[in-house]
Amino acid sequence: MDVGLLGQYVANGLMLGVIYAMVAVGFTLFFGVLDIIKFSHGDVLTVGAFTGLATFIGLQMIGVASPWFQVFIIIIVAVAATGFLGALIAKYLVLPLRSAPPLNILLLTLMLGAALRECVRLFYPQGANPKPFPRLLPQDSLALGSFTLRLDNVILLGAGIGAIAAVHLVITRTRLGLAIRAVAQDAETARIMGIHFDRVVLLTFALGSGLAALAGVMNGLYYNEINFSIGLLLGVIGFSAAVVGGLGNIYGAILGGFLFAALQTIGAVLLPAIFPGLPSAYKDVFAFAVVIGFMAWRPTGLIAERTAERV
Amino acid sequence: MRISFLACAAAIALAGSAFAQQKQTVKLAFIGPLTGGVSANGIGGRNSADLAVRLRNEDPKAKYKYELVSLDDECKPNIAVQAATKAASDKSVIAGVTHYCSVTAIATVDTYHKFGFPVVVWGAVLPDITYRNKYAEVHRVNGTMINQNDVAAKFMTGQGFKRWVVIHDTTDYGKAHDKYFTEYLTKYGGQVVGRFGVTADQQDFTAELTKAKELKPEVIYFGGLTPIGVRIRSQMERLGIHAVFQGTSGIKSDSYIEGLGNKLAEGSLSFIEGAPWEKLPGGLYFTGKYAQAKYDQGPEAYGPFAFAAATLLMDTIEKVGPDRKRVIAELAKVKDKESIIGKITFDDHGQNIVPLISKYVAQDGKWMIWEDSEYGKGTRKLK
């Protein structure tokens, strides 16, 4: 295979991978802090993307024309609004059920996801229809043989990696991160040491949800289209990526995201080549099957969360 | 004396209003995708059927007052069966103008047959809808994809293209497009160098398109509907694939051009059954009346077919009365019936025999009839 095409596959996979990794990092944050699986995470991403689109329409109406300024405001509003939604979910739905069986929270967030999805469908004007997302980033491209490098792809990839790195820095280098890690390790001891448990949980949910909103806006800017069900598959893929990487471990979530994207790309290209007549539509079947294989091989994930249990 | 005068006036007024209301109300169902990715086509079809009903109700010679009951099939087979059952099980609904999506039309034929509910399909092109069974209830005013792909393959090979990559969705609709197009392309000397079956709600096509890029096709043929057509064309640009984008009737929609913008849509091709109705006298009448009615959205490509289907059903009911069995029996006799889409003749499977296929190209943000376009006249080239 030509090097240019190989580079193109890698670039495509990296773009997909960074979006999956951003969703997976959210799952891992929630699990790390509260040991819960928030199944509404994908739909929170949808809310973020639609908030971004509504903001764009608002900016158009008031006459803001600069694409860079539009992107900036869209991201700020989407991340802030969705982060606030995440904190609300934590305060009124997750924290009150903290002592309930984990299955209850799982079911609750699953139903919340369906409710959010339906709200977008019903309350956003003509929300059942796919919505064109504006092309706000520069469309310039550079052809290097059979490899085409788009400036908007580079910007989105950089933004995604930057966002994940920023979350990582917050977790590892700040007082908030220290508090999050303390709560994740032992909530009771953290409380005794003076950490405001509820506040840390709310901020963690706001952080994870804000990251999902950014992923939603990036998804819109990349594909130039969003619809009310984008979060459904992204949520499942993000969760699978977090699990296969090692739920609770941020590096695991990143690895899982890129791994899943690589599996989809390989599935789309190799399946029809190896089995003529088999459509590339089976790429998701292939990717999920391999993930099942990984989970059987490493049940705690490729990079398991470091835990110590004293007996 | 005064009291008796008032009583007489009241009696005359009541008799007058009773006379005005004495027309029996007959319900017709419209079923199509009113929400979802292809809702522009569904709403265009619904508006067109509604226009036919409005015009008929304005006609003082009409024996009945008609009411259109609109149901959304969301372009999903399970939802369509629910909508079909709802319409067919309501005895007050006499007949239906049904389905734009092939997956919904094929899923519901058994329901219509079971309930003895006469329908005229207005947009779905899968041949099996009329030809898999011989159901007296099922008719179709638009043509099938067989002729469409025959003409498409002959036309494109005639333009000098030789290498194709086929991308189709993996529904019966997409697979049938792949089957018939490949069959005719091979017959006319073209070559399919790669084939990709994708899901009907897929978002990312970069892996398939990168593989397609490697195969260096001159044309990418797409057998599917507008939403993923928009995504594929958009991602072709993203990957720097310079091939002609050839769609089917499934992308002949204003929302295809709106979704891509004029620049990206430029030069895309689509093929649709029937004469170019914009040029027929009936077509001009339709567009004029549609504009007068001030609907929010345009009729889209299959609106005239929905209008023709609704008109045909109302003509039939006018003739034989609001009785499902009689309507079915009468529809079986339809031959050379004038309509805005040309003459309608149903064969023994209820399929309108439409010999003509129209070719369209997107030019400057509009679908233009090929022969009238600058591409057809040779001043622009497909690339």
Q: What pLDDT, in 10s, does the model give residues B182-217? A: 999 999 999 999 999 999 889 999 999 999 999 999
Enumerate the residues of chain B whose CB falls inside 8 A of the CB of residue A143: 240
A155 touching B (Cβ < 8 Å): no
For A270, B86, B185, B195, B260, the CA distances from A277, given in Å and listed in that order, are 12, 39, 18, 9, 31
Q: Is the pLDDT of residue B153 over 70?
A: yes
Q: Is the pLDDT of residue B51 over 50?
A: yes
Burial pattern A50-61, b for ≥16 Cβ within 10 A else e, equals: bbbbbbbeebee
Q: What is the dihedral of CA A118, A123, A125, A129, to 10 degrees?
A: 0
Enumerate the residues of chain A whose CB falls inside 8 A of the CB of residue B235: 223
Enumerate the residues of chain B whose CB falls inside 8 A of the CB of residue A281: 170, 197-199, 202
- Residue among A157, A223, A230, A260 with most chain B CBs within 10 A, to mutate: A223
Given this model, what pLDDT does residue A306 score? 60
Q: Which tokens is A232 given? A: 């459904």
Q: Which tokens is B25 given? A: 């109300």
Given this model, what pLDDT does residue B280 score? 74
Contact pairs from chain A to chain B, CB under 8 Å: 87
In the stretch 246-265 of chain B, residues with CB closer than 8 A to chain A read: 258-259, 261
Given this model, what pLDDT does residue A255 score? 95
- Confirm if B310 and B53 have CB atoms less than 8 A apart: yes
Give the minimum alpha-carbon distance from B211 to chain A in angstroms, rounded to a whole number. 7
Q: Which of B122, B373, B123, B144 is nearest to B268 (CA)?
A: B373
- Confirm if B272 and B252 have CB atoms less than 8 A apart: yes
B230 touching A (Cβ < 8 Å): yes
Given this model, what pLDDT does residue A27 score? 94
Cross-strand bridge partners of residue B139 = B120
Cβ partners under 8 Å of residue A18, min gap 6: A156, A157, A160, A161, A164, A218, A257, A258
Give the minimum alpha-carbon distance from A307 to chain B in angstroms, rounded to a whole number. 37
- Residue among A10, A12, A232 with most chain B CBs within 10 A, to mutate: A12
Q: Is the pLDDT of residue B16 over 70?
A: no
Q: Is the pLDDT of residue B1 over 50?
A: no
Is the Cβ pair B231, A280 closer than 8 Å? no
Given this model, what pLDDT does residue B184 score? 97
CA torsion sign for A165, A169, A172, A177 is negative
Q: Is the pLDDT of residue B224 over 70?
A: yes
For B29, B142, B147, B159, B337, the CA distances from B136, given in Å and listed in that order, are 18, 17, 23, 41, 18
CA torsion sign for A224, A228, A233, A236 is positive
Cross-strand bridge partners of residue B65 = B25
Burial pattern B14-46, b for ≥16 Cβ within 10 A else e, equals: eeeeeeeeeeeebbbbbbbbbbbbbbbbbbbbb
Closest partner residue to A280 among B197, B227, B238, by Cβ?
Answer: B197
CA triple B206-B208-B213, angle to 5 deg:
85
Average pLDDT, chain B: 91
For A120, A136, A228, A261, the CA distances from A124, given in Å and listed in that order, are 5, 22, 9, 30
Given this model, what pLDDT does residue B22 score? 75
B216 to chain A: closest CA residue:
A146
Q: Sort A186 into a burial class: Cβ within 10 Å, 0-12 / 13-18 / 19+.
A: exposed
B177 touching A (Cβ < 8 Å): no
Q: Is the pLDDT of residue B136 over 60?
A: yes
- Per the confidence metrics, is the pTM higher than 0.90? no
What's the ipTM?
0.85
Query: Which phi and psi (to 5°) does residue A246 adopt?
Result: 125, 95
- Residue among B210, B233, B300 with most chain A CBs within 10 A, to mutate: B210
Enumerate the residues of chain A whose CB falls inside 8 A of the CB of residue B203: 223, 230, 233
Q: Is the pLDDT of residue B264 over 80?
A: yes
Band (pLDDT 50/70/90 cuts) for residue B279 is confident
In the stretch 70-99 of chain A, residues with CB closer than 8 A to chain B read: none
Q: Which amino acid is at B196?
A: F
Cβ partners under 8 Å of residue B116, min gap 6: B137, B324, B325, B328
Q: Which tokens is A167 given? A: 């979350």
Q: How far apart are CA B312 and CA B88, in angstroms?
A: 19
CA triple B181-B143-B343, angle to 5 deg:
145
Band (pLDDT 50/70/90 cuts) for residue B19 is very low
B198 to chain A: closest CA residue:
A281
A272 touching B (Cβ < 8 Å): yes
Which mean pLDDT values do the consecutive 10-residue runs of chain A (311 residues) have?
86 94 94 87 97 96 94 97 96 90 90 93 84 90 87 95 95 92 88 91 95 96 91 94 91 95 91 82 92 91 66 49
Is the Cβ pair B214, A148 closer than 8 Å? no
Q: Which of A214, A212, A56, A62 is nearest to A136 (CA)?
A: A56
Cβ partners under 8 Å of residue A58, min gap 6: none
Is the Cβ pair B238, A130 closer than 8 Å? no
Q: How far apart are CA A291 and CA B122, in angstroms?
A: 44
From A103-117, B135-149, B228-242, B265-279, the region with the lowest mean pLDDT: B265-279
Q: How far apart are CA B157 and CA A218, in angstroms?
A: 40
Range B303-330 average pLDDT? 97
Q: Hey, how many other C-beta atoms are within 10 angstroms of the C-beta on B377?
A: 10
Give the minimum alpha-carbon distance from B238 to chain A in angstroms, rounded to a whole number. 7
Enumerate the residues of chain B whose CB falls inside 8 A of the CB of residue A148: 238-240
Range B1-18 average pLDDT? 51
Enumerate the residues of chain B whose CB falls inside 8 A of the CB of residue A2: 214
Given this model, what pLDDT does residue A184 score? 86
Closest partner residue to A146 among B170, B213, B235, by Cβ?
Answer: B213
Q: Hey, how many other C-beta atoms are within 10 angstroms of the C-beta on A303?
A: 19
Q: How far apart are CA A67 and CA B121, in angstroms?
A: 45
Give the minimum alpha-carbon distance from A22 to chain B in angstroms, rounded to a whole number. 17
Is the Cβ pair A132, B203 closer than 8 Å? no
Closest partner residue to A128 among B36, B199, B238, by Cβ?
Answer: B36
Q: How far apart are CA B92 and CA A303, in angstroms?
A: 64
Residue bearing tokens 């006319």? B188
